[in-house]
A and B are shown apart, each in its own frame.
Chain A
């Protein structure tokens, strides 16, 4: 059994102590083809729980600071995480994501770029939307709800509570190799992605046009 599969089982077993996880739409995960899983980010628990639940091993983009400790970095690599430097434009993170998709494996990205401070959805990172339009693979909108109440960003301890993970119907965006065409399609793609996440997580309101990166 791989470290990834072992970790999935371990998290599922241990999490049953903390609280129930309700999962919806797991059958919407493509069984073989590549896809980009786009998720909201409520808590540091999100990648742990989503990767524990999702049947396909996901290659998740994670901030580079998480790889500073050699031990944590080794765990991150074995959980298919790859670093992105958020303090600058980072084309290598995009190149690696596209390479993973080319090898028919899924990539996971937290489209808001960071955990929410107040539980609400934030604006999307437009760099992620550009990657989606460049890749042209199906997008699985995934929402996690309740993780903020269990472990918000500003708190140090976990609370018990229910969590709901929803894998939405796949969204299809055309592959746009032309940069101008991508830029033109960007606002509407960002809007529709965030509208879908908002709908799944039961949150209304506009998210704004998005932010760079």
Chain B
């Protein structure tokens, strides 16, 4: 700000100054307003198959092959996270979200990950990956937001859900959710 000395801190020091996620408060506000905890435009690709890979005759492992990118909206609720695909041809960046004026949702392309079914949550480069018992691995990009923030928010919501349901304290979110 004009007239003020610039403040130079390390990234870690800046991070320490950020407010907490405060998931309880976010959930309370969302429930009062009948709204999701968070809603953002998203691009989702899901696992089509895992493919074996070898090099010079040595089998290395399997890698995932993802399907086409689908644009829509990602919504976080207290007990699930959901993706609603835009109706075909309406998914260009900068357009309004489905459910708002000028945009239609295509519910045939919807995915709802119930918290009890989610087996892993992790960031991977610029995507958030969600694995679950009932859906293939999903790789999610938030074009207008932060994957780090979404990861923290989802993990906090999962932790809150597990505590509230007496399922234990989550100690790991990847490679699989484990509790103590």
The answer to whether B159 has its CB under 8 Å from any CB of chain A is: no
Report chain A residues within 8 Å CB of B66. 68
Per DSSP, chain B at the interface is: strand
Contact status A83-B61, CB under 8 Å: yes
The answer to whether B82 has its CB under 8 Å from any CB of chain A is: no
A85, A117, A127: which contacts B148 (Cβ < 8 A)? Answer: A117
Report chain B residues within 8 Å CB of A65. 63-64, 124-125, 127, 139
The answer to whether A64 has its CB under 8 Å from any CB of chain B is: yes
Which residues in chain A, 51-92, are within 8 Å of chain B measured between CB atoms? 63-65, 67-68, 73, 77, 82-90, 92
Contact status A87-B174, CB under 8 Å: yes
Given contacts A67-B53, A77-B55, A154-B148, contact A86 B174 (CB under 8 A): yes
The minimal Cβ–Cβ distance linking B164 to chain A, given in whole angstroms, is 22
A118 to B123, CA, bound (A): 14
Contact status B129-A92, CB under 8 Å: no
The answer to whether B15 has its CB under 8 Å from any CB of chain A is: yes
Report chain B residues within 8 Å CB of A119. 10-12
Q: Which bracket fits the contact residues of B?
A: 35 or more
Contact status B64-A213, CB under 8 Å: no
The answer to whether B101 has its CB under 8 Å from any CB of chain A is: no
Bitwise, A143-161 to B at CB < 8 A (1) or not (0) is: 0000010001010000000
Contact status B11-A85, CB under 8 Å: no
A65 to B63, CA, bound (A): 7
Which residues in chain B, 126-154, are within 8 Å of chain A measured between CB atoms? 127, 129, 131, 137, 139, 148
